[in-house]
A and B are shown apart, each in its own frame.
Chain A
Amino acid sequence: MKKQDSSAPARPQNDTASVMRPQSDAVEYLLRLGDDRLVLGHRTSEWCGHAPILEEDIALTNIALDLVGQANLLLSAAATAENAGRDADALAFLRDGLDYRNAHIVELPNGDFAFTIARQFLFSVFSMVQAEALQPSRHVDLAGIAAKMFKETRYHVRHSGEWLLKLGDGTDESHRRLQDAINELWCYTGELFLADDVERRMAQQGIGVDPATLQLVWNAQVGDVLRRAGITAPDVLWMQRGGRVGHHTEHLGHLLAEMQTLQRQHPGASW
Protein backbone atom coordinates (compact mmCIF):
# COMPACT_ATOMS: atom_id res chain seq x y z
CA MET A 1 0.00 0.00 0.00
CA LYS A 2 1.17 3.50 -0.81
CA LYS A 3 2.44 5.37 2.18
CA GLN A 4 0.18 8.26 3.06
CA ASP A 5 1.20 11.70 4.17
CA SER A 6 0.47 11.60 7.89
CA SER A 7 -1.05 15.07 7.80
CA ALA A 8 -3.68 14.05 5.24
CA PRO A 9 -7.09 13.24 6.72
CA ALA A 10 -7.88 9.54 6.78
CA ARG A 11 -10.28 8.67 4.01
CA PRO A 12 -12.86 5.97 4.49
CA GLN A 13 -11.66 2.91 2.56
CA ASN A 14 -14.71 0.71 2.89
CA ASP A 15 -17.85 0.14 4.86
CA THR A 16 -16.27 -1.04 8.09
CA ALA A 17 -15.70 0.79 11.32
CA SER A 18 -11.93 0.52 10.96
CA VAL A 19 -11.57 4.15 9.85
CA MET A 20 -12.75 5.33 13.23
CA ARG A 21 -10.96 5.12 16.53
CA PRO A 22 -10.83 1.38 17.09
CA GLN A 23 -13.26 0.18 19.69
CA SER A 24 -14.46 -3.26 20.60
CA ASP A 25 -17.28 -4.89 18.71
CA ALA A 26 -19.50 -4.82 21.80
CA VAL A 27 -19.03 -1.06 22.30
CA GLU A 28 -19.62 -0.40 18.62
CA TYR A 29 -22.72 -2.58 18.57
CA LEU A 30 -24.26 -1.09 21.72
CA LEU A 31 -23.62 2.43 20.39
CA ARG A 32 -25.51 1.60 17.20
CA LEU A 33 -28.46 0.31 19.21
CA GLY A 34 -28.37 3.26 21.61
CA ASP A 35 -27.80 6.00 19.02
CA ASP A 36 -30.79 4.92 16.89
CA ARG A 37 -33.05 5.41 19.92
CA LEU A 38 -31.38 8.55 21.27
CA VAL A 39 -31.55 10.42 17.97
CA LEU A 40 -35.13 9.37 17.21
CA GLY A 41 -36.09 10.12 20.82
CA HIS A 42 -34.72 13.65 20.47
CA ARG A 43 -36.42 14.14 17.10
CA THR A 44 -39.74 12.94 18.48
CA SER A 45 -39.43 15.25 21.50
CA GLU A 46 -39.39 18.19 19.05
CA TRP A 47 -43.14 17.63 18.68
CA CYS A 48 -43.70 18.70 22.28
CA GLY A 49 -46.24 21.55 22.11
CA HIS A 50 -46.67 21.25 18.32
CA ALA A 51 -48.73 18.08 17.71
CA PRO A 52 -52.08 18.47 15.90
CA ILE A 53 -54.13 17.46 18.97
CA LEU A 54 -53.41 17.29 22.69
CA GLU A 55 -53.59 13.47 22.84
CA GLU A 56 -50.93 13.26 20.14
CA ASP A 57 -48.69 15.73 21.90
CA ILE A 58 -48.83 13.48 24.95
CA ALA A 59 -48.41 10.27 22.93
CA LEU A 60 -45.39 11.51 20.97
CA THR A 61 -43.63 12.86 24.05
CA ASN A 62 -44.30 9.59 25.91
CA ILE A 63 -42.78 7.67 23.01
CA ALA A 64 -39.81 10.06 23.01
CA LEU A 65 -39.40 9.40 26.73
CA ASP A 66 -39.38 5.62 26.18
CA LEU A 67 -36.79 5.98 23.40
CA VAL A 68 -34.49 8.23 25.44
CA GLY A 69 -34.89 5.84 28.39
CA GLN A 70 -33.93 2.89 26.19
CA ALA A 71 -30.97 4.87 24.84
CA ASN A 72 -29.84 5.63 28.39
CA LEU A 73 -29.78 1.90 29.24
CA LEU A 74 -28.00 0.96 26.00
CA LEU A 75 -25.43 3.76 26.23
CA SER A 76 -24.79 2.85 29.88
CA ALA A 77 -24.09 -0.70 28.73
CA ALA A 78 -21.79 0.70 26.00
CA ALA A 79 -19.97 2.82 28.59
CA THR A 80 -19.51 -0.23 30.83
CA ALA A 81 -18.17 -2.27 27.90
CA GLU A 82 -15.86 0.58 26.90
CA ASN A 83 -14.53 0.98 30.45
CA ALA A 84 -12.86 4.31 29.65
CA GLY A 85 -14.38 6.48 32.36
CA ARG A 86 -17.24 7.77 30.20
CA ASP A 87 -20.87 7.34 31.24
CA ALA A 88 -24.09 7.42 29.19
CA ASP A 89 -24.32 11.21 29.52
CA ALA A 90 -20.77 11.69 28.21
CA LEU A 91 -21.57 9.44 25.26
CA ALA A 92 -24.79 11.33 24.51
CA PHE A 93 -23.63 14.90 25.04
CA LEU A 94 -19.91 14.93 24.29
CA ARG A 95 -19.58 12.85 21.13
CA ASP A 96 -19.43 14.54 17.72
CA GLY A 97 -21.52 13.53 14.73
CA LEU A 98 -18.69 11.44 13.28
CA ASP A 99 -18.81 9.22 16.36
CA TYR A 100 -22.58 8.73 16.20
CA ARG A 101 -23.62 5.34 14.82
CA ASN A 102 -27.35 5.79 14.16
CA ALA A 103 -29.00 4.98 10.83
CA HIS A 104 -29.93 7.98 8.65
CA ILE A 105 -33.68 7.37 8.93
CA VAL A 106 -33.81 8.52 12.57
CA GLU A 107 -31.95 11.80 12.02
CA LEU A 108 -34.13 13.14 9.19
CA PRO A 109 -36.16 16.22 10.18
CA ASN A 110 -39.73 15.53 11.35
CA GLY A 111 -41.46 16.95 8.26
CA ASP A 112 -45.24 16.93 8.60
CA PHE A 113 -47.29 14.68 10.88
CA ALA A 114 -47.59 12.00 8.16
CA PHE A 115 -43.81 11.89 7.74
CA THR A 116 -43.27 11.64 11.50
CA ILE A 117 -45.82 8.84 11.84
CA ALA A 118 -44.54 6.95 8.78
CA ARG A 119 -40.93 7.11 10.04
CA GLN A 120 -42.07 6.10 13.53
CA PHE A 121 -43.87 3.08 12.13
CA LEU A 122 -41.02 1.91 9.86
CA PHE A 123 -38.50 2.24 12.70
CA SER A 124 -40.76 0.87 15.46
CA VAL A 125 -41.48 -2.36 13.59
CA PHE A 126 -37.72 -2.75 13.03
CA SER A 127 -37.02 -2.00 16.69
CA MET A 128 -39.67 -4.46 17.84
CA VAL A 129 -38.38 -7.39 15.78
CA GLN A 130 -34.78 -6.50 16.68
CA ALA A 131 -35.60 -6.35 20.40
CA GLU A 132 -37.46 -9.65 20.20
CA ALA A 133 -34.46 -11.32 18.55
CA LEU A 134 -32.07 -9.85 21.16
CA GLN A 135 -33.93 -11.28 24.17
CA PRO A 136 -31.85 -14.51 24.27
CA SER A 137 -28.59 -12.51 23.98
CA ARG A 138 -25.63 -13.89 25.97
CA HIS A 139 -24.96 -10.31 27.08
CA VAL A 140 -27.17 -10.44 30.18
CA ASP A 141 -27.78 -6.68 30.42
CA LEU A 142 -28.62 -6.43 26.74
CA ALA A 143 -31.04 -9.36 27.01
CA GLY A 144 -32.89 -7.61 29.84
CA ILE A 145 -32.95 -4.24 28.07
CA ALA A 146 -34.23 -5.97 24.91
CA ALA A 147 -37.09 -7.60 26.81
CA LYS A 148 -38.14 -4.19 28.12
CA MET A 149 -37.75 -2.52 24.71
CA PHE A 150 -39.83 -5.24 23.13
CA LYS A 151 -42.76 -4.59 25.49
CA GLU A 152 -42.58 -0.80 25.15
CA THR A 153 -42.12 -0.86 21.39
CA ARG A 154 -45.27 -2.91 20.88
CA TYR A 155 -47.21 0.13 22.09
CA HIS A 156 -45.25 2.36 19.68
CA VAL A 157 -46.00 0.04 16.76
CA ARG A 158 -49.69 0.03 17.54
CA HIS A 159 -49.78 3.82 17.92
CA SER A 160 -48.14 4.62 14.59
CA GLY A 161 -49.69 1.61 12.82
CA GLU A 162 -53.21 2.73 13.67
CA TRP A 163 -52.41 6.27 12.55
CA LEU A 164 -51.16 4.83 9.27
CA LEU A 165 -54.56 3.22 8.70
CA LYS A 166 -56.35 6.47 9.59
CA LEU A 167 -54.18 8.67 7.36
CA GLY A 168 -54.13 6.23 4.43
CA ASP A 169 -57.87 5.68 4.66
CA GLY A 170 -58.70 9.30 5.56
CA THR A 171 -59.03 12.25 3.20
CA ASP A 172 -57.33 12.64 -0.19
CA GLU A 173 -54.99 15.07 1.50
CA SER A 174 -53.98 12.73 4.35
CA HIS A 175 -53.56 9.86 1.87
CA ARG A 176 -51.35 11.96 -0.41
CA ARG A 177 -49.19 13.16 2.46
CA LEU A 178 -48.71 9.63 3.78
CA GLN A 179 -47.86 8.26 0.34
CA ASP A 180 -45.34 11.10 -0.15
CA ALA A 181 -43.78 10.31 3.23
CA ILE A 182 -43.41 6.61 2.44
CA ASN A 183 -41.94 7.46 -0.98
CA GLU A 184 -39.35 9.71 0.61
CA LEU A 185 -38.49 7.41 3.52
CA TRP A 186 -38.20 4.16 1.64
CA CYS A 187 -34.59 4.57 0.51
CA TYR A 188 -33.59 5.00 4.18
CA THR A 189 -35.02 1.66 5.31
CA GLY A 190 -32.33 -0.54 3.72
CA GLU A 191 -29.63 0.65 6.11
CA LEU A 192 -31.50 -0.86 9.07
CA PHE A 193 -30.92 -4.36 7.66
CA LEU A 194 -27.36 -3.88 6.45
CA ALA A 195 -24.99 -6.27 8.20
CA ASP A 196 -21.29 -5.54 8.43
CA ASP A 197 -18.48 -7.47 10.14
CA VAL A 198 -19.32 -6.02 13.56
CA GLU A 199 -22.91 -7.23 13.41
CA ARG A 200 -21.95 -10.60 11.99
CA ARG A 201 -19.34 -11.19 14.70
CA MET A 202 -21.77 -10.11 17.42
CA ALA A 203 -24.37 -12.51 16.01
CA GLN A 204 -21.84 -15.37 15.83
CA GLN A 205 -20.97 -14.80 19.48
CA GLY A 206 -24.62 -14.95 20.49
CA ILE A 207 -24.57 -11.34 21.70
CA GLY A 208 -26.22 -9.52 18.79
CA VAL A 209 -28.45 -10.32 15.89
CA ASP A 210 -27.64 -10.13 12.18
CA PRO A 211 -30.08 -7.42 11.02
CA ALA A 212 -30.35 -9.01 7.58
CA THR A 213 -32.26 -11.87 9.24
CA LEU A 214 -34.95 -9.42 10.41
CA GLN A 215 -35.93 -8.12 7.00
CA LEU A 216 -38.46 -10.80 6.03
CA VAL A 217 -40.52 -10.33 9.20
CA TRP A 218 -40.32 -6.55 8.83
CA ASN A 219 -41.40 -6.74 5.17
CA ALA A 220 -44.42 -8.84 6.10
CA GLN A 221 -45.57 -6.66 9.01
CA VAL A 222 -44.96 -3.32 7.27
CA GLY A 223 -46.39 -4.61 3.99
CA ASP A 224 -49.59 -5.76 5.67
CA VAL A 225 -50.31 -2.35 7.24
CA LEU A 226 -49.37 -0.40 4.10
CA ARG A 227 -51.69 -2.58 2.03
CA ARG A 228 -54.56 -2.02 4.46
CA ALA A 229 -53.84 1.72 4.42
CA GLY A 230 -54.00 1.71 0.60
CA ILE A 231 -50.39 2.85 0.36
CA THR A 232 -47.83 1.38 -2.03
CA ALA A 233 -44.16 0.99 -1.20
CA PRO A 234 -42.14 2.63 -3.97
CA ASP A 235 -40.02 0.60 -6.33
CA VAL A 236 -36.68 1.88 -5.07
CA LEU A 237 -33.52 -0.11 -5.52
CA TRP A 238 -30.93 2.41 -4.29
CA MET A 239 -30.68 2.42 -0.52
CA GLN A 240 -28.98 5.15 1.50
CA ARG A 241 -26.24 4.07 3.91
CA GLY A 242 -23.34 5.32 6.01
CA GLY A 243 -24.73 6.14 9.45
CA ARG A 244 -23.31 2.99 11.05
CA VAL A 245 -19.77 4.16 10.27
CA GLY A 246 -20.30 7.80 11.17
CA HIS A 247 -21.13 9.28 7.76
CA HIS A 248 -24.29 11.29 8.35
CA THR A 249 -26.66 13.65 6.60
CA GLU A 250 -26.28 17.34 7.41
CA HIS A 251 -29.33 17.08 9.68
CA LEU A 252 -27.55 15.22 12.49
CA GLY A 253 -25.17 18.09 13.24
CA HIS A 254 -28.04 20.51 13.75
CA LEU A 255 -29.82 18.05 16.02
CA LEU A 256 -26.68 17.47 18.12
CA ALA A 257 -25.98 21.21 18.33
CA GLU A 258 -29.32 21.70 20.03
CA MET A 259 -29.21 18.55 22.14
CA GLN A 260 -25.64 19.07 23.35
CA THR A 261 -25.47 22.82 23.77
CA LEU A 262 -25.98 22.89 27.53
CA GLN A 263 -23.32 20.28 28.35
CA ARG A 264 -20.91 21.84 25.85
CA GLN A 265 -21.30 25.32 27.34
CA HIS A 266 -21.54 24.26 30.98
CA PRO A 267 -19.67 20.93 31.23
CA GLY A 268 -20.99 18.73 34.01
CA ALA A 269 -24.03 20.93 34.67
CA SER A 270 -26.80 19.12 36.53
CA TRP A 271 -30.01 19.93 38.35
Chain B
Amino acid sequence: MPWAEALIESQSPARLLSSAGERRLSYTDALNEALVLALGLDPNVFVLGQGVNDPSAMFGVTRQLEQQFGSKRIFDTPLSDEGLTGICTGAAMTGLRPVYLHNRPDFLLLAFNQIVNHASKIHYMDNGQTTVPLVMWAAIGRGWGSGSQHSQAIQGLLLTVPGLKIVMPSDPYDAKGLMLAAIADNNPVLIFEHRWLMKQTGHVPEGLYKVPIGKGIYRRKGNDITIVGSSHTLQLAMQALDSLSDSAISAEVIDLRTIKPLDTEIIIESVRKTGRVLIVDTGWAMGGVCAEIGCLIAESCPESLRHPVRRIALPDVPAPAGYTLEQFYYPTAENIATAIIEMCN
Protein backbone atom coordinates (compact mmCIF):
# COMPACT_ATOMS: atom_id res chain seq x y z
CA MET B 1 0.00 0.00 0.00
CA PRO B 2 2.40 2.75 -1.14
CA TRP B 3 -0.18 5.43 -0.52
CA ALA B 4 -0.64 4.40 3.03
CA GLU B 5 3.11 4.82 3.48
CA ALA B 6 2.99 8.27 1.91
CA LEU B 7 0.11 9.24 4.16
CA ILE B 8 2.06 8.26 7.23
CA GLU B 9 5.13 10.09 5.98
CA SER B 10 3.13 13.27 5.54
CA GLN B 11 2.03 13.04 9.17
CA SER B 12 5.56 12.91 10.55
CA PRO B 13 7.17 16.34 10.81
CA ALA B 14 10.75 16.62 11.98
CA ARG B 15 11.20 16.66 15.74
CA LEU B 16 11.28 20.11 17.24
CA LEU B 17 13.99 19.41 19.76
CA SER B 18 16.63 18.27 17.31
CA SER B 19 19.70 20.36 16.82
CA ALA B 20 22.45 20.24 14.26
CA GLY B 21 25.03 17.49 14.57
CA GLU B 22 22.87 15.08 16.53
CA ARG B 23 22.75 11.45 15.55
CA ARG B 24 19.37 10.95 13.93
CA LEU B 25 17.52 7.73 13.26
CA SER B 26 14.10 6.84 12.00
CA TYR B 27 11.63 5.44 14.50
CA THR B 28 11.85 1.93 13.07
CA ASP B 29 15.64 2.04 12.89
CA ALA B 30 15.69 3.05 16.55
CA LEU B 31 13.60 0.00 17.38
CA ASN B 32 15.80 -2.19 15.21
CA GLU B 33 18.86 -0.87 17.00
CA ALA B 34 17.28 -1.67 20.38
CA LEU B 35 16.64 -5.25 19.30
CA VAL B 36 20.16 -5.68 17.91
CA LEU B 37 21.62 -4.42 21.19
CA ALA B 38 19.38 -6.62 23.34
CA LEU B 39 20.04 -9.72 21.23
CA GLY B 40 23.78 -9.05 21.36
CA LEU B 41 23.74 -8.47 25.09
CA ASP B 42 21.60 -11.36 26.29
CA PRO B 43 21.51 -14.85 24.73
CA ASN B 44 18.11 -15.41 26.37
CA VAL B 45 16.43 -12.83 24.15
CA PHE B 46 14.56 -14.07 21.09
CA VAL B 47 12.26 -12.33 18.64
CA LEU B 48 9.19 -13.87 17.05
CA GLY B 49 6.04 -12.86 15.26
CA GLN B 50 4.28 -13.30 11.99
CA GLY B 51 6.51 -11.87 9.28
CA VAL B 52 9.54 -10.91 11.37
CA ASN B 53 11.79 -12.32 8.68
CA ASP B 54 9.70 -11.48 5.64
CA PRO B 55 10.69 -8.72 3.17
CA SER B 56 8.77 -6.01 5.01
CA ALA B 57 10.37 -7.13 8.30
CA MET B 58 7.66 -5.76 10.59
CA PHE B 59 7.82 -2.22 9.18
CA GLY B 60 11.62 -2.59 9.14
CA VAL B 61 11.89 -3.14 12.88
CA THR B 62 13.28 -6.66 12.46
CA ARG B 63 15.35 -6.02 9.34
CA GLN B 64 18.43 -8.26 9.06
CA LEU B 65 17.94 -9.75 12.50
CA GLU B 66 17.64 -13.32 11.26
CA GLN B 67 20.82 -12.93 9.18
CA GLN B 68 22.67 -11.58 12.20
CA PHE B 69 21.30 -13.77 14.98
CA GLY B 70 20.06 -16.94 13.27
CA SER B 71 16.70 -18.58 12.76
CA LYS B 72 16.56 -20.11 16.21
CA ARG B 73 16.41 -16.67 17.81
CA ILE B 74 14.49 -14.80 15.12
CA PHE B 75 11.56 -16.69 13.66
CA ASP B 76 8.26 -16.40 11.89
CA THR B 77 5.30 -17.98 13.66
CA PRO B 78 2.11 -19.86 12.96
CA LEU B 79 -1.02 -17.73 13.29
CA SER B 80 -1.69 -18.87 16.83
CA ASP B 81 -1.93 -15.69 18.85
CA GLU B 82 -3.16 -17.24 22.08
CA GLY B 83 -0.97 -20.32 21.81
CA LEU B 84 2.16 -18.38 20.97
CA THR B 85 1.53 -15.87 23.78
CA GLY B 86 1.27 -18.79 26.19
CA ILE B 87 4.39 -20.36 24.73
CA CYS B 88 6.23 -17.07 25.22
CA THR B 89 4.91 -16.94 28.78
CA GLY B 90 6.18 -20.45 29.49
CA ALA B 91 9.55 -19.62 27.92
CA ALA B 92 9.76 -16.45 30.02
CA MET B 93 8.88 -18.39 33.19
CA THR B 94 11.83 -20.68 32.53
CA GLY B 95 14.40 -17.96 31.93
CA LEU B 96 14.13 -16.72 28.36
CA ARG B 97 13.19 -13.18 27.30
CA PRO B 98 10.79 -13.35 24.37
CA VAL B 99 9.94 -10.31 22.28
CA TYR B 100 6.71 -11.15 20.46
CA LEU B 101 5.80 -8.73 17.70
CA HIS B 102 2.32 -8.26 16.28
CA ASN B 103 1.44 -6.17 13.29
CA ARG B 104 -1.64 -4.73 14.99
CA PRO B 105 -3.05 -4.71 18.56
CA ASP B 106 -6.33 -6.08 17.21
CA PHE B 107 -4.68 -9.51 17.12
CA LEU B 108 -3.74 -9.28 20.77
CA LEU B 109 -7.44 -9.66 21.51
CA LEU B 110 -7.04 -13.30 20.50
CA ALA B 111 -4.39 -13.65 23.18
CA PHE B 112 -6.26 -12.09 26.10
CA ASN B 113 -6.54 -15.44 27.90
CA GLN B 114 -2.78 -15.70 28.07
CA ILE B 115 -2.12 -12.00 28.68
CA VAL B 116 -4.83 -11.39 31.27
CA ASN B 117 -5.38 -14.80 32.89
CA HIS B 118 -1.79 -15.96 32.85
CA ALA B 119 1.22 -13.77 32.00
CA SER B 120 0.08 -10.81 34.13
CA LYS B 121 -0.88 -12.88 37.16
CA ILE B 122 1.64 -15.68 37.38
CA HIS B 123 4.18 -13.75 39.45
CA TYR B 124 1.46 -12.91 41.95
CA MET B 125 -0.23 -16.32 41.93
CA ASP B 126 3.15 -18.02 42.39
CA ASN B 127 3.74 -15.71 45.37
CA GLY B 128 6.80 -14.18 43.76
CA GLN B 129 8.49 -17.48 42.90
CA THR B 130 8.25 -17.04 39.11
CA THR B 131 8.89 -14.06 36.86
CA VAL B 132 7.54 -13.45 33.36
CA PRO B 133 9.95 -11.20 31.44
CA LEU B 134 7.86 -11.02 28.29
CA VAL B 135 7.62 -8.18 25.76
CA MET B 136 4.62 -7.96 23.46
CA TRP B 137 4.67 -5.30 20.78
CA ALA B 138 2.04 -4.06 18.36
CA ALA B 139 1.53 -0.98 16.20
CA ILE B 140 -1.78 0.84 16.32
CA GLY B 141 -3.09 1.56 12.83
CA ARG B 142 -5.02 4.51 11.54
CA GLY B 143 -6.42 5.43 8.18
CA TRP B 144 -6.30 4.00 4.70
CA GLY B 145 -9.23 1.73 5.34
CA SER B 146 -7.74 0.01 8.37
CA GLY B 147 -11.17 0.27 9.91
CA SER B 148 -12.70 -1.39 12.94
CA GLN B 149 -10.42 -4.42 13.07
CA HIS B 150 -7.03 -3.01 12.08
CA SER B 151 -6.80 0.26 13.93
CA GLN B 152 -7.92 -0.36 17.47
CA ALA B 153 -6.04 1.27 20.30
CA ILE B 154 -6.92 -1.23 23.01
CA GLN B 155 -4.77 0.09 25.86
CA GLY B 156 -7.92 1.07 27.80
CA LEU B 157 -9.06 -2.57 27.86
CA LEU B 158 -5.78 -3.59 29.48
CA LEU B 159 -5.29 -0.67 31.82
CA THR B 160 -7.24 -2.47 34.54
CA VAL B 161 -5.14 -5.64 34.50
CA PRO B 162 -2.87 -5.89 37.56
CA GLY B 163 0.66 -7.09 36.91
CA LEU B 164 0.89 -5.73 33.38
CA LYS B 165 2.99 -2.80 32.19
CA ILE B 166 1.92 -0.76 29.17
CA VAL B 167 4.32 1.45 27.27
CA MET B 168 3.37 3.99 24.57
CA PRO B 169 6.38 5.84 23.12
CA SER B 170 6.10 9.04 21.11
CA ASP B 171 9.50 9.46 19.44
CA PRO B 172 12.52 7.44 18.25
CA TYR B 173 14.58 8.18 21.35
CA ASP B 174 11.87 6.75 23.58
CA ALA B 175 11.06 3.90 21.22
CA LYS B 176 14.60 2.59 21.60
CA GLY B 177 14.98 3.35 25.29
CA LEU B 178 11.62 1.93 26.23
CA MET B 179 12.15 -1.22 24.15
CA LEU B 180 15.43 -1.81 25.96
CA ALA B 181 13.77 -1.11 29.31
CA ALA B 182 10.91 -3.48 28.44
CA ILE B 183 13.26 -6.32 27.50
CA ALA B 184 15.21 -5.79 30.72
CA ASP B 185 12.04 -5.73 32.82
CA ASN B 186 11.06 -8.86 34.73
CA ASN B 187 7.35 -8.36 34.08
CA PRO B 188 5.12 -8.70 31.03
CA VAL B 189 5.32 -5.42 29.13
CA LEU B 190 3.05 -4.42 26.27
CA ILE B 191 4.44 -1.84 23.90
CA PHE B 192 1.86 -0.05 21.80
CA GLU B 193 3.49 1.82 18.97
CA HIS B 194 1.56 4.00 16.56
CA ARG B 195 1.86 3.44 12.85
CA TRP B 196 1.87 7.18 12.20
CA LEU B 197 4.99 7.70 14.25
CA MET B 198 7.09 5.27 12.32
CA LYS B 199 8.36 7.52 9.57
CA GLN B 200 9.56 10.26 11.85
CA THR B 201 13.23 10.70 12.61
CA GLY B 202 14.79 12.00 15.76
CA HIS B 203 17.82 12.10 17.95
CA VAL B 204 18.84 8.62 19.06
CA PRO B 205 22.09 8.14 20.97
CA GLU B 206 24.28 5.18 20.15
CA GLY B 207 24.55 2.24 22.50
CA LEU B 208 22.49 1.08 25.41
CA TYR B 209 20.24 3.35 27.38
CA LYS B 210 16.90 2.80 29.04
CA VAL B 211 13.95 5.11 29.39
CA PRO B 212 12.39 4.34 32.79
CA ILE B 213 9.06 2.52 32.70
CA GLY B 214 6.44 4.16 34.91
CA LYS B 215 7.78 7.72 34.60
CA GLY B 216 6.37 10.54 32.49
CA ILE B 217 8.34 13.53 31.20
CA TYR B 218 7.63 17.23 30.61
CA ARG B 219 7.88 17.99 26.90
CA ARG B 220 7.08 21.64 27.48
CA LYS B 221 6.74 23.73 30.61
CA GLY B 222 4.01 26.32 31.11
CA ASN B 223 1.57 27.81 33.58
CA ASP B 224 -1.93 28.00 32.06
CA ILE B 225 -2.88 24.47 31.10
CA THR B 226 -1.56 20.92 31.29
CA ILE B 227 -1.90 18.63 28.32
CA VAL B 228 -1.40 14.94 29.14
CA GLY B 229 -0.99 12.27 26.51
CA SER B 230 1.27 9.69 24.93
CA SER B 231 2.17 8.19 21.58
CA HIS B 232 0.66 9.84 18.51
CA THR B 233 -1.64 12.16 20.47
CA LEU B 234 1.41 13.74 22.02
CA GLN B 235 2.51 14.77 18.57
CA LEU B 236 -0.96 16.16 17.82
CA ALA B 237 -0.79 18.18 21.03
CA MET B 238 2.60 19.61 20.07
CA GLN B 239 1.24 20.55 16.63
CA ALA B 240 -1.76 22.20 18.28
CA LEU B 241 0.50 24.27 20.50
CA ASP B 242 2.68 25.23 17.56
CA SER B 243 -0.44 26.56 15.87
CA LEU B 244 -1.10 28.65 18.98
CA SER B 245 2.42 30.02 19.23
CA ASP B 246 1.19 33.56 18.61
CA SER B 247 -1.24 33.40 21.51
CA ALA B 248 -0.36 34.19 25.10
CA ILE B 249 -1.26 30.68 26.30
CA SER B 250 1.53 29.02 28.23
CA ALA B 251 0.96 25.27 28.11
CA GLU B 252 2.66 22.41 29.90
CA VAL B 253 2.87 19.10 28.06
CA ILE B 254 3.34 15.75 29.80
CA ASP B 255 4.35 12.74 27.76
CA LEU B 256 3.28 9.78 29.89
CA ARG B 257 5.62 7.37 28.05
CA THR B 258 4.05 4.60 30.15
CA ILE B 259 0.35 4.39 30.92
CA LYS B 260 0.72 1.52 33.40
CA PRO B 261 2.18 1.97 35.95
CA LEU B 262 0.89 5.52 35.59
CA ASP B 263 3.11 8.37 36.76
CA THR B 264 0.50 9.98 38.96
CA GLU B 265 3.00 12.32 40.61
CA ILE B 266 3.89 14.26 37.50
CA ILE B 267 0.22 14.69 36.57
CA ILE B 268 -0.79 15.96 40.01
CA GLU B 269 2.27 18.21 40.24
CA SER B 270 1.45 19.87 36.94
CA VAL B 271 -2.30 20.23 37.52
CA ARG B 272 -1.64 21.81 40.90
CA LYS B 273 0.39 24.43 39.05
CA THR B 274 -1.77 25.10 36.00
CA GLY B 275 -5.28 24.37 37.29
CA ARG B 276 -6.41 23.21 33.87
CA VAL B 277 -5.97 19.83 32.22
CA LEU B 278 -6.72 18.44 28.82
CA ILE B 279 -6.16 14.69 28.45
CA VAL B 280 -5.63 13.20 25.01
CA ASP B 281 -5.44 9.54 24.01
CA THR B 282 -5.42 7.37 20.91
CA GLY B 283 -8.04 5.06 22.43
CA TRP B 284 -11.69 5.37 23.36
CA ALA B 285 -12.60 8.07 25.85
CA MET B 286 -14.94 5.82 27.78
CA GLY B 287 -13.28 3.90 30.60
CA GLY B 288 -9.82 4.38 29.20
CA VAL B 289 -6.66 6.33 29.89
CA CYS B 290 -8.47 9.70 29.83
CA ALA B 291 -11.17 8.50 32.20
CA GLU B 292 -8.60 7.13 34.63
CA ILE B 293 -6.54 10.31 34.68
CA GLY B 294 -9.70 12.41 35.05
CA CYS B 295 -10.66 10.35 38.07
CA LEU B 296 -7.14 10.58 39.48
CA ILE B 297 -7.38 14.39 39.38
CA ALA B 298 -10.88 14.37 40.86
CA GLU B 299 -9.62 12.28 43.75
CA SER B 300 -6.22 13.89 44.25
CA CYS B 301 -6.33 17.62 43.54
CA PRO B 302 -9.86 18.82 42.70
CA GLU B 303 -9.24 22.05 44.64
CA SER B 304 -6.56 23.02 42.08
CA LEU B 305 -8.91 23.06 39.12
CA ARG B 306 -9.76 26.41 37.56
CA HIS B 307 -11.64 24.71 34.73
CA PRO B 308 -13.37 21.31 34.50
CA VAL B 309 -11.20 18.47 33.20
CA ARG B 310 -11.54 17.84 29.48
CA ARG B 311 -10.57 14.86 27.37
CA ILE B 312 -10.10 14.35 23.68
CA ALA B 313 -10.14 10.74 22.55
CA LEU B 314 -12.28 8.46 20.42
CA PRO B 315 -16.08 8.49 20.60
CA ASP B 316 -17.85 5.32 21.75
CA VAL B 317 -17.91 4.08 18.15
CA PRO B 318 -15.86 1.47 16.25
CA ALA B 319 -13.31 2.87 13.81
CA PRO B 320 -14.87 3.48 10.39
CA ALA B 321 -12.99 2.29 7.32
CA GLY B 322 -13.80 5.10 4.91
CA TYR B 323 -11.82 8.31 4.56
CA THR B 324 -14.68 10.75 5.05
CA LEU B 325 -16.00 9.12 8.21
CA GLU B 326 -12.49 8.97 9.63
CA GLN B 327 -12.27 12.75 9.53
CA PHE B 328 -15.09 12.91 12.05
CA TYR B 329 -13.68 10.10 14.18
CA TYR B 330 -10.09 10.88 15.12
CA PRO B 331 -8.69 13.62 17.32
CA THR B 332 -6.81 16.27 15.36
CA ALA B 333 -4.40 19.04 16.19
CA GLU B 334 -7.23 21.46 15.35
CA ASN B 335 -9.64 19.85 17.88
CA ILE B 336 -6.95 20.03 20.50
CA ALA B 337 -6.10 23.66 19.72
CA THR B 338 -9.77 24.62 19.91
CA ALA B 339 -10.15 22.91 23.28
CA ILE B 340 -7.05 24.66 24.63
CA ILE B 341 -8.36 28.07 23.58
CA GLU B 342 -11.81 27.38 25.08
CA MET B 343 -10.31 26.25 28.36
CA CYS B 344 -7.87 29.14 28.71
CA ASN B 345 -10.23 31.95 27.80
A is bound by B: no
Q: Which residues of A contact B (CB under 8 A)?
A: none
Residues of B within 8 A of A (CB): none
